[in-house]
Structure 1
Amino acid sequence: MKLGFLTACLPALPLDEIAAWAAEHDYQALEVATWPVGNRDSAAAHLDVAHFGQADADRVRALIDRHGLELSAFAYYENNLHPDEHRRAEIATHLRHTIDAASLLGVPYVGTFIGRDPDRTVKENIALAEKELPQLVDYASERGVKITIENCLMTEWHPDGYPGNLAYSPELWEWMFSLGLHLNYNPSHLIWQGIDPVEALRRYVDHIPHAQAKDTQLDPVRRNRHGVFGKSIERDDPWDNSWWPNRIPRFSDLDWRHIADRVENDGPWHNGWWRHRIPGLGDINWRRIVDTLYEGGFTGVLSVEHEDPVWSGNEKKVKDGLRLAHRTLRPLILT
C-alpha cells in the first residue's frame, strides 16, 4: 500500500509544483484531477487530457519519475447519467479523453461517478446506466484502464438533496460490479448514512483497486432537526447540506478569500449536520480501515481527498491539512 493525495485541493498550482511538494513531504502517489480546462466549475485541471499526446505523456512521466512518485489514478468525477443528453455526451467524451491520457501514461485507473437522472426512479436509472456505461467500460478495457466509481452521494445533483450518484451503498456496489466497474472506496460518505465503513469495506476489498482517505465529523444534535439528508424547506441551494469548501464558481481562477469569507460568515459547519475532515480529525477509525485493507490483500494507493473546511482558506492551510493527514495515515502504512 502507498499513500497519495488527490490534486484537486490545490487547483491553482501546476502539477510540477504539486509533485515537488508531495515528494518533499513524503507522499508516494498522486491522484491527478483531469476536469476540462477552463470550462468546469468547482474542479481542477492539472492535465489537459483533451489535447494530450505522446510528448505530453513523456514530459509528465519524466516529472513523476524525477520525484520518485506514482500516478495512482486520474480523477474526473462527473454525472455520467446526466438528464440532458447533450451534456451527458460531453461528459462521456471527456471521460474517453481521460482514459486515453491514462493509457498513454500507463495509469491504471480513471475515477468517476455513475451519477443519476433525478427525474427517473432508481430502477429507471439502473436501466439507463446499463445502456450507457458498458461501452465506456469496454473503451477503457481496450486501452488497459479500469474505471473506478467513488461512493460519494452527490446530494447536490438531486433537487431534494437525496442521493445523486448510484454508488452510495453496498447494494449498489454489487450491481455496478456486474457492469465491469470497480469501487474507489471512500469511507467518509458511509458513516453519515449510518453504514459502518469497516464492515462495508470488509466484504468488497477484492473489488477495490484504489481507495480515498477522507474523514467525516458528525453532529447528531443538528441531525435531530433535519434528518439524515439535511434541510428541506430551509434548503436554499443544492449545496446547502454539509459544509463543502470547494464548491465555488470558477475554481480554476480560485480566490482563496472567498473560502475565508464563507468560514467567517457561515461558521465551520455551514448549515449541515456533518462535515468532511482531514483523516484523524473526524469520527472514522483509520487504524481499523487500513488494517481491513491489509487483511483483504489491498496493495493499491490510499489517496487523501482534502475537503476539510477548517484546513482551507489559503494554499498554506491546505498544505498543512495534507501534512496532518500524512501524520495520521503514514504510520499505519508499511514501507
Structure 2
Amino acid sequence: MRLGMYCNYTEKTAEFASRVGFESMELAVWSRSTVNPNITDGELARVMKDLEKRDIEISAIGCYPNHIHPDKEFAKDNQAYFHKVIDLAHRMGVTVIGTHGGNDYFKSIEENIPEWKECFYSYCDHAAKYGVKIAIENCPMVDVKTQFRNNLAYSPEIWEVLFGVLPAENLGLEFDPAHMIWQGIDYVQAVLDFGHKIFHVHAKDVEVRRKQWAKYGMFGPQIGNDKYRKGPRSATWCAGWDHHWRGRAVGWGDVNWPKFISALVEVGYEGNMDVEHEDKVFLKQMLAQLDISEEQDLINNYSTEENGLILAYNHLRPLVPPHR
C-alpha cells in the first residue's frame, strides 16, 4: 500500500510530495486542473515522466461532478466530460477513477436509481473496455442551507442497492472514513462489509465539535448561510465545517487510524491511500484570500498547504504497510 496525496499536479507539488516521502498521487482532472482531457500528448508525457522519476505512482484520477443533476443540460455536460475522463485514464494507463454518484435532489433516492443506473452503466461499459474501474466516493455533498445532497452514494444501505441494480465488476467505492463519522456510520464495519468493492481510499480526518453539535444538531446551522452561496449551481456544504464538524489533518480528528487500516488489511485491500487534505485550521489565512466555489477550487489550493500534509504523512507512515 503506497501512501500518497490527492492534488492538482504541478511540478512544485510533485517536488514537495517526493521530498516528504509520498509515493502516490490521485490527480485531479477537472476542467481547470493541469491534467485534464484536453491535455496534449506532449504535456501529459512530461507530467508522467516527472512523477516516474520521483517514484510517484498515479493511483487514480479524480473528477466529482453531479452526474444526474436536476438541471439535465448541466448533467448532460457533466456526463460528456466524464466520458472524456475515462478516455484520459486510458491514455495515462491509470486503472481507477474517483467520482461521486450524483443526485437529482428534487427526487428521492429510490426515484433516482433508474437514471443513475443508466448513467453509470454507460460509464462502466466504456471503462471496462480499458480495464478501468469507477470508484464512487461516499461524501454526501450536503448543502447545509437547503439540505440537498449532490451525491446519493453515501451510506452502506444505498451502496447495497446500487451494486445490486448495477453489478458491474468495475464499479466500486473510493472509501473516505471521515464522512461516515459525522453521519454516525460505523466506518470499520463498512470496510469489513464492502471490502471487495473498495478500489481506492482517501485519508481524511474529521473533528465532531460536540458543543456546536448540541446547539445545531446533525444538520448544522440553518441561519445566516446565504453568505456561502456563490451562484445558482454552487453548494453551501462547506459551511458545516465551520460549525458542528470540520475536516482535519489526519491524526488531528476522530478517525481511529490503526483500526481503519487494520480493517483494510483484513479485507485484503491492495490499493493506495491518498491524503485528501481539507483542514481549514491550517488553511485559515490562505482561504481568506481565495474564492472557493467548487470542489476543484478546494483541491487546487488545499494540496498546496504543506503543514497539514506533512502532519498527515508523519501520522500515517508508521501505520501504512509498505508497498511491495
Query: Into which bin does the TM-score normalised by the smaller protein fall?
Result: 0.7 to 0.9
Q: Are residues 1:302 and 2:259 paired?
A: no
Letter aligned with residue 154 of structure 2: Y
**One-letter code aligned to 1:198:** V
Does structure 2 conserve the Cα–Cα contact (< 8 Å) formed by 1:230 and 1:241? no
Map of 1:1-335 to 2, 5 A cutoff?
1-8=1-8, 15-37=10-32, 45-49=33-37, 51-156=38-143, 160-178=146-164, 179=166, 180=168, 181-236=171-226, 237=228, 240=236, 243=239, 270=242, 272-312=243-283, 313-314=285-286, 318-335=305-322
SS in 1 for 2:134: strand
* CA spacing shift, 1:115–1:323, aligned 2, 3 Å: same
Match of 1:31, SS? Answer: strand
The one-letter code of the counterpart of 2:269 is F
TM-score (norm 1): 0.83
With normalisation by structure 2, the TM-score equals 0.85
User: Higher mean Cα deviation, 139-148 or 208-217?
Assistant: 139-148
Instruction: Provide the C-alpha distance between the structure 2 equivalents of 1:118 and 1:98, rounded to a whole number of angstroms.
Output: 24
234-243 or 145-154: bigger deviation: 234-243
Displacement of 1:67 in angstroms is 0.8
Counting matched residue pairs gives 296
Q: State the distance in 2 between where 1:277 and 1:3 align.
A: 18
Confirm or deny: 8 A CA contact 1:112 1:147 kept in the other structure: yes
Deviation at 1:146, TM superposition (A): 0.9
Aligned to 2:291: none
Q: Which runs of 5+ in 2 are unaligned?
A: 230-234, 287-300
Contact 2:60 2:94 in 1 (8 A): yes
Q: Give the 4+ runs in structure 1 shifted more than 6 A.
A: none
Distance 2:76 2:43 in 1: 26
CA RMSD of aligned residues (A): 2.0
Give, in whole Å, the separation in 2 of the partners of 1:163 and 1:201: 23
Identity of aligned residues (%): 34
Q: Distance in 1 between matches of 2:105 and 2:149?
A: 9
Superimposed CA distance per residue, residues 85-140 of structure 1 (whole angstroms, 9 cap, x where no aligned partner):
11111111211121111111111111111111111121111121012221111111
SS, match of residue 209 in structure 1: strand
Letter of the structure 2 residue corresponding to residue 288 of structure 1:
K
Amino acid at match of 2:176: N
What residue identity is the alignment partner of 1:66?
Answer: K
What displacement does 1:243 show?
4.6
CA distance in 2, matches of 1:143, 1:210: 18
- Call closer, same or farther: CA 1:227–1:324 in 2, change over 3 Å: same
The 8 Å contact of residues 243 and 309 in structure 1, kept in 2 or not, is answered as no
Please name the residue that 2:298 is paired with.
Answer: none
What do the CA deviations read for 1:280-308 (whole angstroms, capped 9, x no partner)?
Answer: 00011001111111111111111100000
Shift of 1:58: 2.5
| Structure 1 unaligned residues grouped into runs of 5+ | 9-13, 38-44, 245-268
